[in-house]
Amino acid sequence: MIENNTTNAEYTTPYGKVYLDLDADIICLSLSSGFDSGLLLYMCAKACSDNQRKITIQPITARRANATDFAWWDRVDNYANAKEVVAWVKKCFPNVDIRDNILADAPLWNYCDPDDPIIGKVHTYIAAQGILQRYVYSRADTIQPNRRYTKRIITQNGVTKNPDFELSGFNPERARNNRDEEAAMPGYVTCCDDNEDKTATRYEAFRNSDKRISFWIGDKLGILPTLLNVTRSCEGPRDLTDNWTQECHHCWWCYERVWAKETYLLPNAKPDTKYMTTSWFNSLRGPVL
C-alpha cells in the first residue's frame, strides 16, 4: 500500500492513489482539527520519519470567531482540538520537526456564503488561511534551508470531495462538490499547483476522492481509533451539542463522517448499499433530540 523513496511517499487505495511530496524545506499544513487534516499531518510526519527527511512541518489553524451576541453562529474552539492532534503526532514521531500550531481568526464567518462565486473567494475562513500561509512564507528564512531539496515550501490541505449522490443518497449543494480533476496529477487523486519559479507547491492530497479514502488509509496505518478520538468534524451549533461537549449527530459533517466510517470497506458498493439518509443515520446513532 505504501511506497516510499527519498523524495515522496505514495499510498495506493481502492479510492485512488495519493501522492505526498517530501522535496522541500517546509511543509505548511492546514489543520482544522478534523479527521482528514489530522490524518494528513500524521502521513506527512510518517513519511519524513520513514525517509529520514529533515523537513519542518508547520501546522496552521484558522478559527471561526464571532461577536458574543451571535450565539447561533458560535463554534467550538477548534484550536484546542488541533493542538491535541499536533501533540499526538509529535509523540508518534519525536524525531520529526513538527512546530506548534499558529492561529488566525476568521471573524464574522457566518455572513459569508462559501458557495457564492464572488463571496466564496474572499470568505473570511479562506482569508485567515491565506494570512497564515503568507506568515509561514515570510518566516521561511528563519528555518535553515537544506540545499538538497528543490522547493522552499509546500502547502498541504486535506480537503476531500463530497460523496457522489449515487453512493450516499444525500448531497449538499456546496462548492466542495466541484472536482479538480483537471488539476490532478496523472494517476493520482492528488491535485497540485506550482508557483511560477517552482520554489513552492500547493497540494490537496485527497481532493478527487471522498472521505472513505481517509478512513481506509487510517485503518491500514492502524491509527483509526485514536484518530477518531482526537479529531472533531462536527459543526453543530451550541444547543445541539450541549455546549460542544458531544457531537450533534445532525450536521452534514456528522453525516459524512459516519457514512465514511460505515462504508470505507465497500469501494464497489451498489448505489443502494448505504444511503446517507436521516433514517439510515438515525438507525446507526439514534435520533436527534
Instruction: Give pLDDT tens digits for 205-242.
Output: 999 999 999 999 999 999 999 999 999 888 777 777 78
90-94, 197-201, 270-274: which has the minimum mean pLDDT?
Answer: 270-274
Q: Are 206 and 189 in contact (CB under 8 A)?
A: yes
Query: How far is the C-alpha of 214 from the C-alpha of 205, rounded, in Å?
Result: 10
Mean pLDDT of all residues in 181-194: 87
Average confidence score pLDDT of the chain: 80
pLDDT at 119 over 70: no
Cell numbers describing residue 193 = 499547483
pLDDT at 139 over 90: no
E-assigned strand segments in the chain: 2-4, 8-13, 16-21, 24-30, 56-65, 97-98, 102-107, 151-157, 191-194, 200-204
More confident residue, 188 or 177: 188
- Please provide residue 63's backbone torsions phi and psi, each rounded to the nearest 5 degrees: -115, 125
Give per-residue pLDDT as tens, 66-98: 655 666 666 667 788 899 999 999 999 999 999
pLDDT at 171 over 50: yes
Share of the chain above pLDDT 70, in %: 71
pLDDT at 249 over 90: no
Cell numbers describing residue 119 = 463571496
Determine the pLDDT at residue 66: 63
Please name the helix (run of DSSP H) or strand (run of DSSP E) that holds residue 181, with its range, or none: none
More confident residue, 94 or 113: 94
Question: DSSP letters along 203-250, please?
Answer: EETTTTS-THHHHHHHHHTT-HHHHHHH-------TTTTTTTTS--S-
Domains, the chain, with CATH or none: 2-232 (3.40.50)
Residue among 103, 64, 93, 92 nearest 235 (CA): 64
Determine the pLDDT at residue 289: 37
Query: How far is the C-alpha of 47 from the C-alpha of 22, rounded, in Å?
Result: 8
Highest mean pLDDT: which of 9-23, 64-78, 194-208? 9-23
* Residue 41 backbone zone (phi > 0: left; psi -120 to 50: alpha; other: beta): alpha
User: In the structure, what pLDDT confidence band is assigned to residue 1 with cuts at 50, 70 and 90?
Assistant: low
Determine the pLDDT at residue 247: 80
For Cα atoms 56, 59, 60, give the angle at the middle one, nearest 5 degrees.
135
- Burial of 242 (C-beta count, 10 Å sphere; 0-12/13-18/19+): exposed
Q: Are 98 and 45 in contact (CB under 8 A)?
A: yes
User: In the structure, what pLDDT confidence band is assigned to residue 163 with cuts at 50, 70 and 90?
Assistant: confident
Indicate the residue type of 37: S
What are 62's strand-pairing partners?
104
Count of beta carbons in the 10 Å neighbourhood of residue 120: 14
Residues 6 or more apart in contact with residue 105 via CB below 8 angstroms? 62, 63, 64, 65, 128
Determine the pLDDT at residue 191: 92
Q: Are 216 and 14 in contact (CB under 8 A)?
A: yes
pTM for the whole structure:
0.85
pLDDT at 288 over 50: no
pLDDT at 114 over 70: no
Query: How far is the C-alpha of 161 from the C-alpha of 209, rounded, in Å?
Result: 6
Determine the pLDDT at residue 251: 78
